[in-house]
Amino acid sequence: MTQPPSCSEGEAQGASPSADVVDPWVRFGWLLAAIWLVFLVFPLGSAVLADVAVVWRALTIALIITFALVYLRGFWADDQPPGTTRRLHLYLLVMGLLALATVPVIGLSALGLVPFMLSFSGMALPTRQALLLLGAAMVLAVVAPLLAGQLDDLWFFLLIYPMVGLTLILISALDQRAGRQRESQQRLTISEERERVARDVHDVLGHSLTVVTVKSELAERLVDVDPERAKAEMAEVRSISRQALAEIRATVAGLRVARLTDELAAAEQALTGAGMRLEVRGSPEEVDPRHRIVLAWAVREAVTNVVRHSGARLCQITLGQDRLSVRDDGRGVSGRREGNGIGGLRERVEQQGGSVSLGPGAPGAGDGARGSGTLLEVRLGGADDTGETTAKVAT
């Protein structure tokens, strides 16, 4: 009956269900409570058969019916957030007073109303309070028959009270535990979505801003020497900026999907603008379709780092069925800390069961005049590279 706390963060991230979707248990839990009202037939029967004036019998029947209505109203109130414990205590107090008021007419039969109070407390109150009420009810079940000298009914109440109370307390505890698990899962989903958005935004903006910076610097150098070329570079800057804005919007909406062919074309554009030459070995068609999206992100991140940090003249991209390598002939990565971009790439690849390695390239990489350079390798499976071809793009 206790509704788990809602998580407004999930709504902000678009990861939680609509606030209008209500758990059926919360909406209709009171109906389950109403089923057990059939057992009020026993105290009602005692009231009908009581050897008292008709007016007192009618009044007692009205008290029992009122008890039933308060019982149902209490369950309904517990289902309505926030439903404070203080208000639930008030419902229990009213039910207790109504049950007590029936004692002059139906006597010990009034003890038949106590299980309804135990079920209500078991579902609506904290476990400790429900157990305290169960203990008090057990004492009442012993003391009342002893005082009335009707010990024949003692066994019934000693059996039914713990059965009802403990069963409902257990159900409530399990329901609360399930609610906490749902909340934890929701928070985990929100966290994963945040990481996805942060990773995608970094990859999109990092690449686009790097290219924009390179082309802006080139246009600045060309503005006096070759104004037309400078205008063309600035036109590309405008186009890239618009594309980056569209990609950011798509990323936030969860629709951004990198395409390997597009990333290779963007890599050529970025490297050319930075005065570097690109060699592509292999073809996107050779890559397993299952791996193309991940490898496309790897191309984007690797080329961004080459443009930013390498100072290289040549960049080689080698594609295989389930792997990728990006090698440059620049200054290398010795003594440099791994950045957030590579960390995000590792997360993407490891989610697909692959691995990422980053280190010095082989001596003489590329043109061979700049030292060992840097080698980034992404592996997503055990198949060997197939059908590698070489396409050289001159700058």
* Secondary structure of 298-325 in HEC code, one letter for each residue: HHHHHHHHHHHHHCCCEEEEEECCCEEE
What's residue 345's pLDDT? 85
Q: What is the C-alpha to C-alpha distance for residues 237 and 260, in angstroms, rounded to an integer?
A: 22
pLDDT of residue 220 exceeding 60, the answer is yes
Query: Which of 189, 210, 239 represents a domain boundary (last residue)?
Result: 189
> Is residue 290 located within the same domain as residue 386?
yes
> Is residue 47 located within the same domain as residue 181?
yes
Q: How confident is the model at residue 266 (pLDDT cuts 50, 70, 90)?
A: confident
Instruction: Tell me whether residue 138 is in a domain.
Output: yes
Q: Give the domain range for residue 63.
A: 8-189
pLDDT of residue 392 exceeding 70, the answer is no
Query: Which of 162, 189, 216 represents a domain boundary (last residue)?
Result: 189
Q: How confident is the model at residue 8 (pLDDT cuts 50, 70, 90)?
A: very low
Instruction: Tell me whether residue 208 is in a domain.
Output: no
> Is residue 140 located within the same domain as residue 57?
yes
Cβ contacts of residue 266 below 8 Å, gap of 6+?
A: 207, 211, 300, 303
Instruction: Tell me whether residue 248 is in a domain.
Output: no
**Polymer length of the chain:** 395
Instruction: Tell me whether residue 232 is in a domain.
Output: no
The CATH number given to whatever domain includes residue 389 is: 3.30.565.10
> Is residue 125 located within the same domain as residue 268?
no
Residue 349 CB-density burial (10 A; 0-12 exposed, 13-18 middle, 19+ buried): buried
What's residue 83's pLDDT? 44
> Is residue 26 located within the same domain as residue 168?
yes
Q: Please give the C-alpha separations between residue 107 and each of 101, 185, 325, in angstroms, as whole numbers.
A: 10, 51, 87
> Is residue 156 located within the same domain as residue 30?
yes
Do residues 363 and 315 make contact, with C-beta atoms less than 8 angstroms apart? no
Tell me what percent of the residues of the chain surpass a pLDDT of 90. 14
Instruction: Please report, to the nearest 10 degrees, the dihedral formed by the alpha carbons of residues 349, 355, 360, 363 taken in order.
Output: -110
Choose between 143 and 382: higher pLDDT. Answer: 143
Instruction: Give DSSP secondary structure letters for 379-395.
Output: E-SSPPP-S--EEEE--
pLDDT digits (tens, 9 = 90+) for 194-205: 776 676 666 666
Q: Please give the C-alpha separations between residue 111 and each of 64, 74, 94, 184, 288, in angstroms, as whole numbers.
A: 12, 20, 15, 42, 73
Instruction: Tell me whether residue 216 is in a domain.
Output: no
Q: How confident is the model at residue 335 (pLDDT cuts 50, 70, 90)?
A: low
Instruction: Tell me whether residue 90 is in a domain.
Output: yes
pLDDT of residue 65 exceeding 90, the answer is yes
Q: Please give the C-alpha separations between residue 168 and each of 133, 136, 175, in angstroms, as whole numbers.
A: 13, 16, 10
Q: What average pLDDT score do residues 229-242 get?
A: 82
Residue closest to 365 by CA, chosen among 391, 329, 334: 329
pLDDT of residue 153 exceeding 70, the answer is no
> Is residue 26 located within the same domain as residue 147?
yes
Query: Which of 168, 189, 210 represents a domain boundary (last residue)?
Result: 189
Residue closest to 236 by CA, chosen among 248, 249, 219: 219
> Is residue 263 located within the same domain as residue 155?
no
Q: What average pLDDT score do residues 10-36 get?
A: 50
Q: What is the C-alpha to C-alpha distance for residues 283 and 66, in angstroms, rounded to an integer?
A: 79
> Is residue 263 located within the same domain as residue 185?
no
What's residue 395's pLDDT? 31
> Is residue 176 located within the same domain as residue 264?
no
Quote the number of domains for the chain.
Answer: 2
Instruction: Tell me whether residue 226 is in a domain.
Output: no
Cβ contacts of residue 175 below 8 Å, gap of 6+?
A: 1, 2, 25
Instruction: Tell me whether residue 30 is in a domain.
Output: yes
In the structure encoding, which two tokens stand for residue 383, read together?
A: 């198949």
| Whether the predicted model's global pTM rises above the 0.75 cut | no
Q: What is the C-alpha to C-alpha distance for residues 240 and 307, in angstroms, rounded to an integer?
A: 16
Q: How confident is the model at residue 35 (pLDDT cuts 50, 70, 90)?
A: confident
> Is residue 31 located within the same domain as residue 151?
yes
Q: What is the C-alpha to C-alpha distance for residues 48 and 70, in angstroms, rounded to an integer?
A: 21
